Amino acid sequence: MICDDVAYREDYVDYLIEYNGETETVLDIYKDTGCVNFIDERFAVLYRPKPDDYMESFSRLEYTLFPKLYGLMDTSSVEAVGAVNVQQENILGLTGKNIIIGIIDTGIDIQNPLFQNAVGQTRILAAWDQSVPGGEQTGEFPGYGTVYTGDEINEAIRNGTSVLQDENGHGTFLAGIAAGGKTDDFTGVAPEADFAVVKLKPAKQNLKDFYLVSSNAPVFEEDDLLSAMHFLNETAAAEGKPLVLCLALGTNQGSHSGTLPVSLTLARYGNTPGVIPVCA
């Protein structure tokens, strides 16, 4: 089965499966009927050709198989969370230095000085744009989209090239609140932190149709969120720095009992030394 670009193709649908490390078993079951992308040691996404009865399959398949859709959440101001008061206590030295802020959202404006250091170089150590297919991949992950190094982002800044373009503006706003650099009239919560960024690809239309979500709604798939978290964690591990994982997305779908894959994964990272998830 040809698996090129199945993460984007509308004639393929996504199923989220919990495999708990049994890689060979999953491959034996699905290798002839679909394409599998292993997200982490617990979850994988299965891409299969869209069945004729896809819209009716909800009644005969487990609800957990269908990735939930996550939408954008509002963010609070720096003043409202009390960050200014903390920053004024200079003795604490809480500036975010040597910490990575992981952003999972709609992209980021790389040309904005808030995300650059004093000499105009990016503070983004690595980024993954899920919405741009066909980029050069290294190793087994992430398997789709395009990955950028800090050097490549600096080159894009110098050349005025648009990468990680944030058409919505939500991701740029979130990054600015979390770790925008100091200016005369603004500073983020952690102005000296580094960034790792994931620009999520929009949810497939077939999944929007399945959940009766408006076609122009800015929503994103659960499997892409899980892959984004894994990417950020791997980036922080490679850099040898602590990670604050920022997720300003939410959903009213699912069990509401903390058993969704995203909830379980956030809980796991919350119990991992050196990782702090922060959710809107």
Residue with more model confidence, 198 or 133: 198
pLDDT of 127 higher than 90: yes
pLDDT tens, residue by residue, 159-178: 998 899 999 999 999 999 89
Confidence label for 139 from pLDDT (cuts 50, 70 and 90): very low
Q: What is the pLDDT of residue 87?
A: 58
Q: What is the pLDDT of residue 79?
A: 57
Q: If you average pLDDT over residues 239-264, what whole number do you get?
A: 89
Q: What is the pLDDT of residue 8?
A: 93
Closest CA to 18 of 54, 43, 1: 43
Q: What is the pLDDT of residue 86?
A: 60
| Contacts of the segment 113-121: beta carbons below 8 A, 24+ positions apart | 113/181, 113/183, 114/175, 114/176, 114/180, 114/181, 114/183, 114/186, 114/188, 115/175, 115/176, 115/180, 115/181, 115/195, 116/157, 116/181, 117/181, 120/157, 121/154, 121/157
CB 236 within 8 A of CB 278: no
Contacts of 226 (CB under 8 A, 6+ apart): 16, 39, 40, 43, 45, 261, 262, 265
pLDDT tens, residue by residue, 19-78: 887 888 888 888 778 888 889 889 999 999 998 888 877 666 777 788 999 998 864 565
Q: Which of 70-79, 123-132, 199-208 has the lowest mean pLDDT?
A: 70-79
Angle between helix 261-270 and 222-239 (nearest 10)? 20
Whole-number percent of the chain with pLDDT over 90: 57
pLDDT of 138 higher than 80: no
Q: What is the pLDDT of residue 57?
A: 76
- The Cα 169–Cα 83 span in angstroms is 22
Q: What is the pLDDT of residue 34?
A: 87
Dihedral of the CA atoms 66, 101, 266, 166 (nearest 10)? -20
Residue with more model confidence, 1 or 206: 206
* Dihedral-angle region of residue 18 (phi above 0 means left; psi in -120 to 50 means alpha; beta otherwise): beta
Q: What is the pLDDT of residue 20?
A: 80
pLDDT of 118 higher than 60: yes
- Length of the chain in terms of residues written: 280
* Dihedral-angle region of residue 132 (phi above 0 means left; psi in -120 to 50 means alpha; beta otherwise): beta
